[in-house]
Amino acid sequence: MSLPLAAVGAVVLALLESSVAPHLMVAGVKPDLVFVVVVVVAAIFGLGAAVGWAFVGGLMIDLLSPSDLRPLGTSAFSLLVVAGLAAGAARFLPSGRAEVAILLTFLLTFAYEALVLALFGVAGAPVPVVDPLRDVLPIALLDAVLAVPLAFGLRYLARRYGPQERLQW
């Protein structure tokens, strides 16, 4: 996956996440579009492909949010850490599997939310009190549901247009 495609895609996703996603809330939960794409891309294509999505998408999320809510760089750093965790975990699990990407999306939502809140505290921003089961579990479920079509679609593209293993003499 090329870096210009990742940069443009991350900007578009961050714009959608900050403008359209708050109006498309499901049961009071706003989807984390950039997060879902970063984890699925890291799980299927590896860390190299996910770094552009994570860095550019995270910076755009921070720039498009009100300045008192998100200190600049918190989302980018959190997404880079989550991309590394997803790529690392995908190395030990069956590679290129959509099911692995969906499971990692669900599990890493908790780590992403905790890391963002920790960075808010370090940056001096107001940190809300969060109950993991009441507040983060619905977000994790929605992110996992959003990861299903993306993971299967990217897995299909990776198998169809990715490098082919050939017999070498």
Judge whether residue 164 has pLDDT over 90.
Answer: no
pLDDT one-digit tens code per residue, 19-38: 887 777 788 888 888 999 99
Taking alpha carbons only, the member of 104, 123, 113, 127 closest to residue 32 is: 113
- What's the pTM value of the predicted model, to 2 decimals? 0.87
Residue with tokens 């490098």: 163
User: What is the per-residue pLDDT for 40?
Assistant: 93
Residue 23, classified by CB atoms within 10 Å of its CB into exposed (0-12), middle (13-18) or buried (19+), is exposed
Is residue 37 within 8 Å of residue 56, measured between CB atoms?
no
Q: Map residue 34 onto helix, strand or coil.
A: helix
CA distance 80 to 55: 6
Judge whether residue 162 has pLDDT over 80.
Answer: no
Confidence of residue 150 (pLDDT cuts 50, 70, 90): very high
Q: Map residue 63 onto helix, strand or coil.
A: helix
CA distance 109 to 113: 6
The pLDDT of 1-20, averaged and rounded, is 82
CA distance 39 to 50: 8
Confidence of residue 111 (pLDDT cuts 50, 70, 90): very high
Judge whether residue 75 has pLDDT over 70.
Answer: yes
Confidence of residue 168 (pLDDT cuts 50, 70, 90): low
